[in-house]
Amino acid sequence: MTEKYKIYIPEEMRLRLLNDAELFDFCKKDGSVNLNGFLKELLLQYFDEYRETKERLLDTILSDLSAFSSISREDADAIADKIMNSYMRNTEFKSERNAAITLTVSGRSLDIMHSIENNMLSRVSLSQYLNDFFSSYLSISRKDRERILFQDIFEELNTAIRKNSIIRFTSTSAPNVIFTVQPYCIAASKEEQCNYLLCLDNETGIPRSFRISRIRALYSSSDKFIPNESRKLELQEIAGRSPQSTSKGIEAEVRLTEKGLQKFHFITKNRPDVLKKEENTLYFNWPKTQLEEYFHRFGKEAVILSPDDCRESMRIFYKKAWEAYRKKEKGE
């Protein structure tokens, strides 16, 4: 059985939810973003936690109000409800609900919608309840939103890490490849706020990193591995630095203009850690690819002075960009 619900929410909220659906790889077969699939999974994974959190808060408010003998139980219920549904409502989004989304549900997600309709709409509409539900979810940090949506994968990975179990899975970034790895830890990147599994390839022993939300068909085998303590320390160092990449760092020297220094201050996503600063020159020990990708955004405001191969890679990058613009000007 399938049912459809038309929900009205602020446009900004719709865009934030759409962004999460894309970020966490909820896609249709044609590659377009599957917002409905994302919202169904959000209902399945977050509804119980959201409901229980609201119930605990309501119980706390009622308990505090009951300490006043002058307030009847009926009045306490009304006051508590007013506090929950008015004063404690997230005001991040505009009150105007100028966007409509169609939620198509079946199975367990349909059961949850029926539960909401039958038990939780005594003083609010379905749209208002779901607005509050989505708003609560979006108020959580991105890495914790990822943990909510993929909590089953997180639990299985943590169990495998604890038991030293060899695991197998595919990834949305390489759907036709089966990875067999030894899991060591899970770490969140500081800037992206996404979670990564840090592990060793079971055959080669090479360090690997996989974003949790891209892991599919996870299987924990009965085979065990003996942890390599030196590799474990290496992965822990990577976890604290930039878990999205297991490449070893290179010594690099970058000269920035005054505007470049301002950009470096404001562009925080995947920003490399500075080892040393001498006037307008910054020194790094950072993975080569991540360093280059970060400074691609700076144009003439940053020049990599060393190492030579990194400098040459950047020169080729800008040369290709110039050639592309030149072709456009010539109408080629």
Handedness of CA 91, 93, 97, 101 (dihedral sign): negative
Are 18 and 33 contacting, i.e. CB atoms less than 8 angstroms apart? Answer: yes
Q: In the chain, what are the domains?
A: 2-139 (no CATH), 146-241 (2.30.30), 249-329 (no CATH)
Are 27 and 213 contacting, i.e. CB atoms less than 8 angstroms apart? Answer: no
For the segment 198-204, the average pLDDT, to the nearest whole number, is 96
Are 231 and 205 contacting, i.e. CB atoms less than 8 angstroms apart? Answer: yes
**Does 80 score more than 70 pLDDT?**
no
pTM listed for this prediction: 0.77
pLDDT tens-digit map of 229-280: 999 999 998 888 889 888 888 999 999 999 999 999 999 888 888 999 999 9
Q: Which helix (H) or strand (E) holds 223?
A: strand 215-224
Q: How far apart are CA 318 and CA 296, in angstroms?
A: 8
pLDDT tens-digit map of 208-228: 999 999 999 999 999 999 999
Q: DSSP assignment, residue 245?
A: -
**Does 88 score more than 60 pLDDT?**
no
Determine how β-strand 281-287 pairs with β-strand 249-256: antiparallel
Q: DSSP assignment, residue 27?
A: B
* Nearest residue to 124 via CA among 15, 40, 7, 3: 7
